[in-house]
Structure 1
Amino acid sequence: MALIKEFLLGGQSWITAFHIIAVVSWFAALFYLPRLFVYHAMAEDRISIERFKIMERKLYRGIANPSMIVAVALGIALFSIYPNYFLNSGWFQVKLALVLLLIVYHYSCLYLLKQFRDDRNTRSHVFYRWFNEIPVLMLIGIVVMVIVRPF
């Protein structure tokens, strides 16, 4: 265990860098996927509908899922370096709550993707335009917690 902690401490900058890269990739996917849902909900021809299904599936499986897994894994690695500090920091607890909500949002996107895949979407493009704003609010909250650390 001491060897793992020593490695983590020595590689903390690398872990942080790759954590940030994974978070940026994850958010990029979570910004773009609901935008595809907007266009998919507006599509009327079969060719466009099928194209959106492919794009949504590839974005979710190829970028969103791997990015989320790496971001969470590296976040856990960073947490494990100084767990007592993080557990006793109010800003971290708020950030963690926002990340958990982001994971719920991520899986909500999967649910909606399956609705589109099965041609069972009942929501309008307006719903998806509003749905697309949720990760923006979470990003603002997470960045403020990590950089400003208001409490």
Structure 2
Amino acid sequence: MLAWLLVLHLPAMVLWVGSLLVVTLILATHSRQTGAEARQALAEAEAKILKGMAHPGAALAVITGVLLILQNPGYYMSGGWFHIKLLLVLFMIGLDLRIYFRAKALRAGKIQMQRGECIALHSGVAVVFLGILVLVLVKPF
């Protein structure tokens, strides 16, 4: 059972994080477009990726993550690395929500986004994911 949960958990994380990275780059392009047709096409792409890939990936990653913890709670809960990893996962969820609501507001014409904000969100997702990888693979403490 543990192996199957990992087989689901890892691709779910890749789908979630990869989708967020793609959406933030699309947002950066969207923020600089002036043509209505191009802005509409980019907004539709953002929505499809978030709703069709990022959020299902996030849900599957969280569900399989909880099931993995339940399989061997002593192993996970005793490691200091794991508690920090959980904190980083919460940061990733926060970034996901920030990206989603900013993209939704941009699509509705309620806000303007600067390219720098999009790149900062992109960098935040990448740094948090790298932190998670280091903690899981190296287990530094």
Q: How many residue pairs were aligned? A: 141
Deviates more, 1:109-118 or 1:16-25: 109-118
Structure 2 counterpart of 1:105, one-letter code: L
- Give yes or no for the alignment of 1:53 onto 2:43: yes
- Give yes or no for the alignment of 1:74 onto 2:64: yes
Instruction: Give the Å deviation of 1:18.
Output: 1.1
Larger radius of gyration: 1
Query: Equivalents in 1 of 2:58, 2:37: separation in Å?
Result: 30
Pick aligned residue for 2:17 from 27, 30, 36:
27
Instruction: Give the Å deviation of 1:84.
Output: 2.4
Superposed, which structure 2 residues align to 1:64-103 within 5 Å?
Answer: 64-103=54-93
TM-score, structure 1 as length reference: 0.90
The percentage of counterpart residues that share the same residue type is 26
- Write out per-residue CA displacement over residues 71-124 of structure 1, whole angstroms, 9 at most, x where no aligned residue: 000000100011122122100001000001100111111111111121122231
- Give the structure 1 partner of residue 99 of structure 2: 109
Query: Equivalents in 2 of 1:95, 1:43: separation in Å?
Result: 37
TM-score, structure 2 as length reference: 0.96
Query: Equivalents in 1 of 2:30, 2:106: separation in Å?
Result: 8
Query: Equivalents in 2 of 1:83, 1:97: separation in Å?
Result: 17
Query: Equivalents in 1 of 2:56, 2:78: separation in Å?
Result: 30
Query: Equivalents in 2 of 1:131, 1:16: separation in Å?
Result: 27
Structure 1 counterpart of 2:130, one-letter code: I
Pick aligned residue for 1:143 from 111, 127, 133:
133
Gaps (5+ residues) in structure 1? 1-10
CA RMSD of aligned residues (A): 0.9
Structure 1 counterpart of 2:135, one-letter code: M
- Give the structure 2 partner of residue 40 of structure 1: 30
